[in-house]
């Protein structure tokens, strides 16, 4: 591995004089590690194209255009309907794949810039040579970085080389979206995969850096349980709320409170991934309000006094919302400055004064000045809270009725709502004093405020909804396990074999945003169903929060019921969005630790292994963002299927297999070189399910792999059959495609399955214990 040598000298006295602040950089030091370098160190766009095409042959893109036009250049708008081409020559399929690539470039850039800023900040605090120590149970500390770049990072500074590589590649990918560049939809799709792979490297850089240096749980399955929910915030205290994805502001706030003995005087809570990071940094002090969709309703509840925003997924006018309830906003990321004056170098007391007096709409303090952010936020909250008590009380029944009485029943709110929620009926009932209908919508609302934008008489619909439900949700308190970060090597060693042989039926990851079609409860219900069936359930981001926000009849959440181990029936919260890299990392580690495959710069072979052997599937039930798109595409390139909820169809392209085409499902037997039919496993690579029932049945089906032993396949089939019968009433009509030999049939279901197989004329086929899609992996005789 090549490493840069940097020498920084603060002060050096020599015979010739005194040298101050000298920094020398002398190229790179070549360093070796035990593993031989594979064929694709730091792959560029075309280097893994052959692997991508293998996948794209099986999983052909199905386009469902969200828009029929292209308006990206001044030739346009161009009508791409049907067989038409744009002025630059693109057809509809190619334009759709181009838009997917654009979305993924935005997604990976977001994580990448996040990682770059974080690493620079940590280097400033701890130095380039700070070790990347992820605890005593993680020796394979950066599976994505090792796999893709060939770098084995040991220090913070080593991460800079990986960042440089990803930045170069992202620029290349974005260039492909320019007019007059790529003209093949399949090559665009290959580039989408490339963006996704880069994204997992960028996420991993960010998360291992902060985990190693900031005292986050290090692969700890027993990471503490912390509070989540609106009811966990003590509104009688000053309240600081952080929103977004960065840790720096939270570090500043928590450190300031501790240094000044104010830990119990101020509440610090968060939404979205900033909340995950907050509790990873300080499980004792940090509290989680909920997923990103709760940001407006929490601000409107009047509870937070100071809103600290950083970056990603934040409502872009949240400061206006804060202002309406007398709260103040501090922006902390240069990527999201909100037009606020830059007060990074201003005296903290002066900033507090400006904020409290309302002289400025908000303050921008750069995240690098975390200590100052902490001081300003705490001081402002303490000063402001006593003046804001009036905002923290629920309104009277009469007030709600008065607002609802303005409703003209035009229904524009319903048309504006992404889920067409029956707001009109709720408003009508509220007008007459019945708030139950509006309150019932609270759980289903994604908090987008489009209803309010559409309302011709300016009814603050969400406020009315929040107020109608306030007395209920302010009482709600739940528990969530703090994000544990990576999976331990020893855990992989223990579960590697049962996963690859199929005896643990699968690893299912609930990831992504909170743009749900039917509320967050569905995520918890799906997770519970799979946990009961001994799947390993990994979770991250907003999905991890939604899973926490429902209790069983005994009042316990899934985090209280299931252990945090990466094992059958374990509920593994890895943490924030960037911690998704630990989920892909776990799959990569199975290939490396269990199967002893060379990892270093050996992408295609490892992806082939995961695709044919590791029964894993992602469910991003509320996927909304461009980041979610690039995270998913990173899984696709590893051959791991992803299911999204119905709103995910708006990503406008699915990757679907055709189980009815026998020719699509052949693999090589790596021992003999023979081409063998392995069945449609997994059947799809990207699928937007209509209902949670469909998603569950699909997810367990997508965990089947070519390498399953008969025992493993029987276990997977028993779940597939059982869930299919539970939700759809019968045996699956494609069951015969997944049964290779009679021994695959679950014993308890044997009679009815055999009867079915007879009806469809099933014939026994051989198993493929060593499947591969890559000819070069066939053992040479």
Partner 1 sequence: MMRDELTGQIAEIPGPIKAFVLREPRRVAAMLKGAGRLLIVVGNNVKNYESEDFDAIDFVVNLAKSLNAHINVTGPLITKFREKDYNKIYLMPALETIDRLRDNTWSGFDGEGRYNMAVFIGFPYYYEWLMLNGLKHFAYKWLRTISLDPYYHPNATFTLPSMDLDKWRSFMKEVLDLVRR
User: Interface with partner 1 by CB under 8 A: which residues?
Assistant: 62-69, 79-82, 92-93, 412, 415-420, 450, 454, 517, 646-647, 649-650, 652, 654, 656, 658, 687-691, 693-694, 698, 727-730, 733
Give least dist CB 331 to partner 1, A: 28
Give least dist CB 693 to partner 1, A: 5
**Pairing, β 17-30 against β 2-14:** antiparallel
- What lies within 8 Å, CB to CB, of 91 at 6+ separation is 80, 83, 84, 85, 185
**Are the C-beta atoms of residues 480 and 575 closer than 8 Å to each other?**
no
Question: How would you label 718-742 residue by residue, b for 16+ Cβ within 10 Å and e otherwise?
Answer: bbbbbbbeeeeeebbebbbbbbbee
Q: Which residue's CB is nearer to partner 1, number 691 or number 710?
A: 691
- What does DSSP assign to residue 771? E
**Are the C-beta atoms of residues 428 and 434 closer than 8 Å to each other?**
no
Residue in the block written with tokens 């346009």: 76
State the Cα–Cα distance between residues 652 and 648, nearest whole angstrom: 8
Q: Which residue's CB is nearer to partner 1, number 285 or number 653?
A: 653
Q: Extract the tokens encoding 516.
A: 């749900």
Give least dist CB 639 to partner 1, A: 20
State the Cα–Cα distance between residues 481 and 674, nearest whole angstrom: 47
Q: Which residue's CB is nearer to partner 1, number 243 or number 643?
A: 643
Give least dist CB 560 to partner 1, A: 29
Q: Which residue's CB is nearer to partner 1, number 186 or number 247?
A: 186
Q: Which residue's CB is nearer to partner 1, number 262 or number 454?
A: 454
Give least dist CB 440 to partner 1, A: 15
State the Cα–Cα distance between residues 220 and 213, nearest whole angstrom: 15
Q: Which of 299, 579, 281 is nearest to 460 (CA)?
A: 299
What Å distances lie between residue 454 and 380, 406, 411, 428, 671, CA to CA? Answer: 35, 14, 9, 17, 63
Give least dist CB 408 to partner 1, A: 15
Region of residue 245 (phi > 0: left; psi between -120 and 50: alpha; otherwise: beta): alpha
Q: Which residue's CB is nearer to partner 1, number 496 or number 732?
A: 732
Give least dist CB 27 to partner 1, A: 52
DSSP 507-519: EEEE-S----SS-
- What own/partner pairs with CB < 8 Å and gap ≥ 24 does 127-130 have? 127/156, 128/6, 128/155, 128/156, 128/157, 128/160, 129/155, 129/156, 129/157, 130/155, 130/156, 130/212, 130/213
Q: Which residue's CB is nearer to partner 1, number 432 or number 730?
A: 730
Longest C-alpha distance within the chain, in Å?
95
- What does DSSP assign to residue 650? G
- What lies within 8 Å, CB to CB, of 204 at 6+ separation is 142, 143, 144, 145, 578, 581, 582, 585
Say whether 398 sits in a helix, a strand or coil: helix
Give least dist CB 83 to partner 1, A: 9
**Are the C-beta atoms of residues 244 and 309 closer than 8 Å to each other?**
yes
Give least dist CB 453 to partner 1, A: 9
Q: Which residue's CB is nearer to partner 1, number 136 or number 453?
A: 453
Q: Which residue's CB is nearer to partner 1, number 62 or number 490?
A: 62
Output Rg (C-alpha) for the chain, integer angstroms: 27
Q: Which residue's CB is nearer to partner 1, number 27 or number 761?
A: 761
The phi, psi pair for 47, rounded to 5°, reads: -70, -30
Q: Which residue's CB is nearer to partner 1, number 66 or number 75?
A: 66
Give least dist CB 82 to partner 1, A: 5
Q: Which residue's CB is nearer to partner 1, number 486 or number 520?
A: 520
Give least dist CB 313 to partner 1, A: 20
Give least dist CB 381 to partner 1, A: 38
């Amino acid at each position: 591995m090549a490493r840069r040598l940097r020498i920084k000298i603060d002060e050096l006295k020599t015979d010739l004089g005194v040298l101050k602040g000298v920094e020398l950089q002398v190229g790179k030091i070549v360093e070796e590690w035990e593993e031989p370098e594979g064929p694709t160190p730091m792959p560029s766009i075309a280097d893994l194209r052959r692997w991508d095409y293998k996948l794209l042959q099986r999983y052909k893109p199905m386009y469902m255009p969200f828009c029929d036009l292209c308006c990206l250049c001044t030739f346009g708008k161009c009508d791409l309907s049907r067989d038409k081409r744009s002025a630059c020559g693109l057809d509809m399929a190619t334009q759709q794949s181009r838009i997917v690539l654009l979305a993924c470039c935005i997604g990976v850039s977001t994580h990448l810039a996040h990682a770059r800023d974080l690493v620079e900040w940590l280097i400033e605090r701890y130095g380039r040579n700070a070790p990347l120590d992820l605890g005593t149970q993680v020796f394979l500390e950066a599976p994505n970085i090792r796999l893709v770049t060939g770098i084995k990072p040991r220090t913070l500074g080593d991460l800079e080389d990986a960042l440089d590589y990803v930045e170069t590649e992202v620029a290349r990918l974005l260039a492909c979206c320019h007019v007059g560049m790529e003209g093949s939809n399949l090559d665009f799709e290959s580039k989408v995969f490339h963006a996704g792979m880069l994204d997992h490297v960028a996420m991993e850089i960010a998360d291992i850096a902060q985990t190693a240096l900031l005292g986050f749980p290090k692969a700890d399955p027993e990471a503490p349980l912390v509070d989540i929910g609106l009811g966990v915030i003590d509104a009688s205290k000053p309240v600081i709320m952080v929103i977004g994805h960065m840790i720096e502001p939270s570090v500043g706030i928590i450190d300031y409170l501790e240094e000044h003995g104010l830990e119990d005087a101020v509440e610090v809570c968060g939404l979205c991934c900033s909340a995950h990071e907050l509790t990873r940094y300080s499980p004792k002090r940090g509290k989680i309000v909920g997923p990103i969709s709760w940001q407006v309703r929490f601000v409107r509840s009047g509870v937070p006094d100071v809103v600290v925003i950083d970056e990603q997924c934040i409502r872009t006018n949240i400061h206006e919302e804060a202002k309406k309830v007398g709260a103040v906003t501090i922006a902390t990321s240069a990527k999201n400055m909100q037009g606020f004056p830059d007060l990074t170098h201003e005296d903290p007391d002066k900033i507090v004064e400006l904020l409290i007096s309302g002289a400025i709409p908000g303050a921008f303090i750069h995240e690098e000045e975390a200590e100052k952010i902490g001081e300003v936020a705490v001081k402002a909250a303490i000063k402001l809270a006593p003046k804001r008590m009036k905002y923290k009380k629920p309104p009277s029944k009469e007030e709600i009725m008065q607002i609802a009485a303005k409703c003209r029943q035009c229904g524009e709110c319903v048309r504006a709502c992404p889920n067409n929620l029956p707001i009109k009926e709720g408003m009508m009932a509220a007008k007459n004093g019945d708030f139950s209908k509006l309150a019932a919508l609270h759980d289903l609302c994604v908090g987008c405020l489009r209803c309010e934008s559409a309302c011709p008489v300016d009814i603050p619909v969400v406020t009315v909804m929040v107020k109608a439900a306030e007395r209920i949700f302010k009482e709600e308190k739940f528990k969530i396990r703090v994000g544990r970060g990576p999976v331990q090597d020893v855990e992989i060693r223990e579960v590697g074999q049962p996963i690859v042989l199929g005896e643990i039926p699968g690893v299912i990851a609930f990831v992504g945003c909170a743009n749900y079609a039917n509320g967050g409860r569905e995520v918890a219900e799906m997770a519970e169903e799979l946990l009961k069936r001994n799947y390993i359930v990994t979770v991250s981001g907003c999905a991890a929060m939604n899973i926490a926000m429902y209790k069983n009849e005994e009042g316990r959440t899934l985090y209280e019921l299931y252990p945090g181990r990466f094992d059958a029936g374990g509920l593994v919260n890895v943490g924030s969005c960037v911690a998704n890299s630990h989920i892909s990392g776990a799959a990569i580690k199975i290939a490396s630790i269990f199967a002893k495959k060379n990892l270093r710069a050996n992408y295609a072979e490892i992806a082939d292994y995961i695709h044919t052997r590791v029964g894993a599937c992602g469910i991003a039930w509320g996927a909304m963002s461009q980041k979610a798109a690039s995270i998913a595409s990173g899984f696709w390139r590893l051959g791991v299927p992803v299911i999204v909820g119905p709103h995910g169809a708006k990503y406008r392209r699915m990757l679907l297999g055709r189980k009815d085409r026998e020719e699509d499902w052949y693999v090589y037997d790596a021992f003999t070189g023979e081409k063998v039919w392995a069945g449609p496993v997994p059947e799809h690579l990207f699928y937007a399910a209509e209902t949670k029932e469909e998603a569950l049945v699909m997810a367990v089906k997508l965990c089947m792999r070519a390498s399953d032993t008969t025992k493993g396949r029987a276990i997977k089939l028993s779940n597939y059959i059982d869930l299919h019968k539970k939700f759809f009433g019968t045996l699956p009509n494609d069951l015969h495609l997944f049964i290779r030999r009679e021994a695959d049939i679950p014993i308890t279901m044997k009679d009815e399955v055999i009867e079915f197989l007879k009806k469809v004329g099933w014939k026994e086929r051989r198993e493929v214990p060593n499947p591969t899609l890559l000819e070069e992996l066939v053992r040479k005789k």
